[in-house]
Structure 1
Amino acid sequence: MPAPIGTAAVNAMGAAAAYRTATATPASNPAEGFGSALQRAIEGTVQAGRQADAASTGAMLGTVSVTDTVLAVSQAELALQTAVAVRDRVVSAYQDIMRMPI
């Protein structure tokens, strides 16, 4: 039986809200800081990709609507673009630091 229209969208929105909350909330332990925030962001990106894969498979099998599939794939694409932008910024900052004279 096909999933109700909007189920994947609701799940995707919930995952996006959790991702934003996890990355926007400061760490309670100062030792966790940037590394744990980066780890949570990467895990959120991987989870979005898995949801998109599951939605695509469900669409091919006829159990997930096309709308839900498009929403899941769009969320995964946005998460990946964000991860690549952050990676590029980190690499650029590292290169700037390495170019600094001692």
Structure 2
Amino acid sequence: MKWQSIEVLPMEPDANVVFESETYLVTDGCAVATCDFCRGNGAGKPWAGWSMYGGIGAGLITHWMQMPAPPRCEYCDGTGDVHSLDGEWRGTCTCPAGKNPAPL
């Protein structure tokens, strides 16, 4: 991941998108926060811009980057299944992956 200048938008306006929003890390050169970048097509005019409800005001943002991937569980590595060192299955993990297993 690399900081991108505010000169480069995360998404361009698109007449085919009714509404879309994604959260990014942003900075004003001093602080780091999160802010949504939204785009849509209102009244036939495509638009895109930073939300005014982010941790840093839209007009103060100098750089942005994608959010990092969340950390994986140290017990099941995000699979939901816990195994001992010899590979024996020990049960279902209590992390989100274990509580909400992927469908088969």
**Do they fold alike, i.e. is TM over 0.5?**
no
With the length of structure 1 as denominator, give the TM-score of the two structures: 0.23
Larger radius of gyration: 2
Higher relative contact order (CA 8 A, sep 6+): 1
**Structure with more helix by fraction:** 1
With the length of structure 2 as denominator, give the TM-score of the two structures: 0.23
**Structure with more strand by fraction:** 2
